[in-house]
Amino acid sequence: MHLATLLPWLGGGGAAVAAVASNVASGMEISLSAKDINLVEWQGDILAVGVTENDMSKDENSKLQNPALKKLDSHLGGLLSEVTIEEDFTGKAGQSIVIRLSGLGFKRISLIGLGKGPTGSSTYAYHSLGESVASAAKASQANNVAIALASSEGLNPASKLVTASAIAKGTLLGTYEDNRFKSEFKKSTLKSVDLIGLGVGPEVEKKLKYTAEVCTGVILAKELINAPANVVTPEVPAEEAEKIAAAYGDVFTATILDTEQCKELKMGSYLGVPAASANPPKFIHLYMLLWIAIGTLLGTYEDNRFKSEFKKSTLKSVDLIGLGVGPEVEKKLKYTAEVCTGVILAKELINAPANVVTPEVPAEEAEKIAAAYGDVFTATILDTEQCKELKMGSYLGVPAASANPPKFIHLCYKPLSGPIKTKLALVSKGLTYDSGGYNIKTVPGSMELMKFDMGGSAAVLGAAKALGQIKPGGVEVHFIVAACENMISGSGMRPGDILTASNGKTIEVNNTDAEGRLTLADALVYACNQGVDKIVDLATLTAACRVALGHSIAAILTSSDELFKEMVAASEVAGEKFWRLPMEESYWESMNSGVADMVNTGPMVLSLLLFSCNRLENVKRVLRATLHAESRKESNLTHMAAELRLLLGRFSLFSMEGMSFSKDVLFLGCDSSTWLLDLIGACPDRKKFDNEAAFFPPGT
């Protein structure tokens, strides 16, 4: 499938010293295409094949054994085998050969070594492959090239997307040369790049388009950096900011402050630096519409439900001037307001005291969401007896001492039309109050904060409310909350009790204050039984995370390097900070119980890690993301979901990229969930807003 998007190159046009970054365009355009054809049928200048050392293995007759290379070698009359032996080409990283051909569909064939192959989520080898192809194209003045991997059949669809992007990026950036200040140079003749065997269709096209767009930003940065100081004065980056705002006026606005304006703002520290310069300073501020809209709406909101006297907000309307007009802006503002309704629901659930928000309340909210958005939502609320029928002994052990019965909540979102590309679940423990049980909380000041222990479920329900309004397609989402209280009474669970989860695993309770993992054990099994592909587990689980990383950094535990990279990318867009913690095999030993399959907690320093291992044991056949949120009084859960995009968008973890996670597990521990809705939804217009990152960092 040919990709219609062309990469506009910035620079490469002339030698005038007065040229500034991106003012001169060479006119060069490179088209990117994803094709699924037999390599021997491709026609063009250079067919480049990335090979690993394993791909270069030969049989007893010194003939290549890799199926793709074997077919090419046969087509070339054994030439590949001969040349690789003569040149001692073994596929090591950095090795390459180019063979000139005649009378065939392609004029040259190039083998480029990938070494032992990429490890984990690393795309460096593929990026280097693209750079090597760019060098070969320059040397031979090629107009069109094709790039393939000798063993691409071993990649899953998601890995193929990442690989295609890395190769394309390496090729595009490798082809680029900054010749603005040279009087003589060779212009690149490369016009098209075909990626063969890495998938076709709209998802690949979207990924390649995104890659090309990223490259334009990289090239702008290169040109600003490479230009001499007599060309790039402070005025130039200011001009570039204004150009960006002009080009993308539907989302960007630029404010440029001169010396006098900076003086008015008393920027003495900044103004002291350029005091001796003949070139006046320029203070640059680029900002996006969505940031302003979300900030205004959420900043105006105040939770005064429990105050007898307060000042009501009188704000009735907000006019955004100079930030664009028309249907695109209106659509974006409507979308922003919808997201904020979900954020505010989460705020109100978290902020309300435990005598107001009992387990019944989140269940009622789920039913309200299903009633309000009945075209896409259905709600199932399970009571104690129904949970007993499902043998949820682990979950039911937690609320045994409470006067308020538990409510197991299941909201299911299905799009109005179109195929379901993935099914995912958002799961949370939903402790509306946690006394600690018989292992009662003893840390001063902690008990009154335990209304926040349902912060994860508030975020999950807030996401559901927003999703009901935005109605993205292609994904089925199950919102699961195991709502209950952890109290103390004669009927409550005791340290030493043994509970049986719905999957048959037995758990020795050696700490009643480690209750969240007990509710989640059954919630996660329930999620698996819905036939979902992936699960995000969001909950306030253990102070061990806060002890290790503080209030503002989240913990990630995963055996999947690729998934780790994707989740970190999501967190960066959302303004969150994540840190990866280990999952050593030796940690399992601390979970052993002498009388049951496992215990529910271990040494404090390993508490979060052991929880992750525990969940892995219970749901290891499904990918899971466990979000650990140690809520604070000013909980950043309330800032969740400034943008709903990644799961259905180009950074998609759980949908369009078609990833298979039957063996990989991810655990995340976070202090806030700003990016939760970002992991579920989609921008209203991908074409206009696909590159927008409009979030408020924690504490904004």
> What length does the chain have?
700
CATH 3.40.220.10 for domain 27-177+188-226, yes or no, is yes
Determine how many CB atoms are found less than 10 A away from the CB of residue 499: 23
Catalytic residues: 441, 517
pLDDT of amino acid 668: 40
Handedness of CA 367, 370, 371, 372 (dihedral sign): positive
Q: What is the pLDDT of residue 572?
A: 64
pLDDT attached to residue 678: 39
Whether the predicted pLDDT of 149 surpasses 70: yes
| Choice between 668 and 256, residue whose per-residue pLDDT is larger | 256
For residue 8, count other CB atoms closer than 10 A to its CB.
17
Predicted local confidence at residue 624, as pLDDT: 41
Percent of the chain with pLDDT over 70: 76
First to last CA, the chain: 44
pLDDT tier at 652, thresholds 50, 70, 90: very low
DSSP notation for 414-466: --SSS---EEEEEEE--EEEE--TTS---STT-GGGGGGGGHHHHHHHHHHHH
Q: What percent of the chain has pLDDT over 90?
A: 49
Q: What is the pLDDT of residues 596-648, one digit of tens each?
A: 988 988 654 445 445 444 544 444 434 344 444 433 333 332 222 222 222 22
C-beta atoms surrounding 312 within 10 Å: 7
Task: Give the pLDDT of residue 313.
Answer: 80
Which of 203, 197, 243 is CA-nearest to residue 220? Answer: 243
Residue 423 has pLDDT above 80, yes or no: yes
- Mean pLDDT across the chain: 78
Q: Check residues 290 and 124 and name the one with the higher pLDDT.
A: 124
What pLDDT, in 10s, does the model give residues 82-105? 999 999 999 999 899 999 998 788
pLDDT, residue 290, reads 62
In 3D space, the residue among 350, 359, 446, 445 whose CA is nearest the CA of residue 395 turns out to be 359
**CATH 3.40.630.10 occupies which residues in the chain?**
342-647
- Render pLDDT for 23-76 as a digit per residue (tens, 0 to 9): 333 334 899 999 999 999 999 999 999 999 999 999 888 899 999 999 999 999
Packing angle, helices 455-470 and 360-372, rounded to 10: 10
669 pLDDT exceeds 70?
A: no
Task: Look at strands 377-382 and 422-428 and give their pairing.
Answer: unpaired
Per-residue model confidence as pLDDT tens digits over 11-21:
233 322 333 33
- Among the CATH numbers 3.40.50.150, 3.40.190.10, 3.30.70.520, 3.40.630.10, which is that of 342-647? 3.40.630.10
User: Within the chain, which residue ranges are assigned CATH 3.40.220.10?
Assistant: 27-177+188-226
How does pLDDT run across 373-382, given as a tens digit for each residue? 999 999 999 9
State residue 362's pLDDT score.
96
Q: Could you give the residue ranges of the DSSP H alpha helices within 265-377?
A: 268-272, 289-300, 327-351, 360-372
pLDDT of residue 697: 26
* Whole-angstrom distance, CA of residue 465 vs CA of residue 329: 22
Contact 428, 538 (CB under 8 A): yes
